């Protein structure tokens, strides 16, 4: 029961992690404009992995996708790749985990096969969670670096300073989703140990004969020797012998 509960809970937690990773990847608010120095502005900018958006004070929002791939920074493209790999591994892990659930019987699948599938899905969830956490952390590091560079230029009195960007809501969703996928994968790996069938151990049992121990000795082979000794009792008469030494027995006609 505990194995089944751990497996189902791991599946549900990992499902939430994969869904959160997909949501974070599709969100536009990976970086938002910092309004610390200018809380009142007519234009609010925020960016995602696939497009940048501008929201005006009137409520009108306009988003423009990135029409280039080679023109984007290398770290930005690495974040995209990590999130996509995490999503693909998470979806594959969910497909494998569905068939590995102990409460679902498919044909004559043995527990050892389910244990292997559970371990495989758990490893996929762990790698997917690590990819999501790594991708979000790399993007956050880029934001921190650009933020402090913009702040330094601002304090030095440089003109035409670009807008500073801070953490968006998608980063927190990605961190939580990666953590859930990681925890779900660990739970699946723990459930795998309970699905492995125990090895049957046979103990040696000594059997003692109920009677007296009889020892048999082997000796040289002797041919068959007829027993020449006969029992003699009352009414016993030895048959007469013929000239060649053979005994002659009476026939049934002698008693007529």
Q: Supply the Cα-derived Rg of the chain in whole angstroms.
A: 45
pTM of full prediction above 0.75: no
Sign of the torsion angle spanned by Cα atoms 38, 40, 43, 49:
positive
Expressed in angstroms, the distance from the first to the final Cα of the chain is: 93
Domain that holds residue 24: 1-37+73-197
Is position 214 within any domain? no
Q: Maximum CA pair distance of the chain? A: 156
Is position 247 within any domain? no
3-state secondary structure of 53: strand
Is position 123 within any domain? yes
- CATH number of the domain bearing residue 80: 1.20.140.150
Half-sphere exposure of 205 (CA within 13 A, CB side): 3
pLDDT per residue as tens digits for the range 121-156: 999 999 999 999 999 999 999 988 887 776 666 555
Alpha carbons 174 and 84: distance in angstroms, whole number:
12
Is position 98 within any domain? yes
With a pLDDT cut of 70, the percent of the chain lying above it is: 65
88: tokens are 């693909």
Residue with tokens 């930005």: 76
Is position 45 within any domain? no
CB atoms under 10 Å from CB of 201, counted, come to 5
Indicate the number of domains in the chain.
1
Is position 58 within any domain? no
| Position 223 pLDDT exceeds 70 | no
Alpha carbons 150 and 152: distance in angstroms, whole number:
5
Is position 244 within any domain? no
Contact yes or no for 139/7 (Cβ under 8 A): no
Alpha carbons 105 and 89: distance in angstroms, whole number:
24
**At a CB cut-off of 8 Å and minimum separation 6, what does 82 contact?**
131, 132, 134, 135, 138
| Position 178 pLDDT exceeds 70 | yes
DSSP annotation string for 107-152: TT--HHHHHHHHHHHHHHHHHHHHHHHHHHHHHHHHHHHHHHHHHH
Is position 134 within any domain? yes
pLDDT per residue as tens digits for the range 6-60: 888 999 999 999 999 999 999 988 998 887 666 566 778 888 899 988 888 777 8
């Amino acid at each position: 029961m505990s194995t089944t509960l751990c497996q189902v809970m791991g599946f549900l937690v990992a499902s939430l992690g994969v869904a959160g990773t997909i949501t974070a990847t599709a969100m536009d608010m990976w970086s938002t404009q910092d309004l610390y120095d200018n809380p009142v502005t007519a234009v609010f900018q925020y960016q995602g992995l696939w497009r940048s958006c501008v929201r005006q004070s009137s409520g009108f929002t306009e988003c423009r996708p990135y029409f280039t791939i080679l023109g984007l920074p290398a770290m930005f493209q690495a974040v995209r790749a990590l999130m996509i790999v995490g999503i693909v591994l998470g979806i594959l892990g969910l497909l494998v985990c569905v068939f590995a659930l102990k409460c679902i019987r498919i044909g004559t699948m043995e527990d050892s096969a389910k244990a292997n599938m559970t371990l495989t899905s758990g490893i996929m969830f762990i790698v997917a969670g690590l990819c999501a956490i790594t991708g979000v952390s790399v993007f956050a590091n880029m934001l921190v670096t650009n933020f402090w560079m913009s702040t330094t230029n601002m304090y030095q009195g440089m003109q035409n300073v670009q807008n500073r960007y801070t953490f968006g809501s998608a980063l927190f969703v990605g961190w939580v989703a990666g953590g859930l996928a990681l925890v779900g994968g660990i739970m699946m790996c723990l459930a795998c140990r309970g699905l492995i069938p125990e090895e049957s151990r046979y103990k040696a049992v000594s059997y003692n004969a109920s009677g007296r121990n009889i020892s048999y000795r082997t000796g040289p082979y002797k041919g068959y020797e007829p027993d020449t000794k006969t029992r003699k009792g009352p009414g016993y008469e030895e048959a007469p012998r013929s000239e060649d030494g053979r005994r002659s027995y009476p026939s049934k006609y002698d008693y007529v």
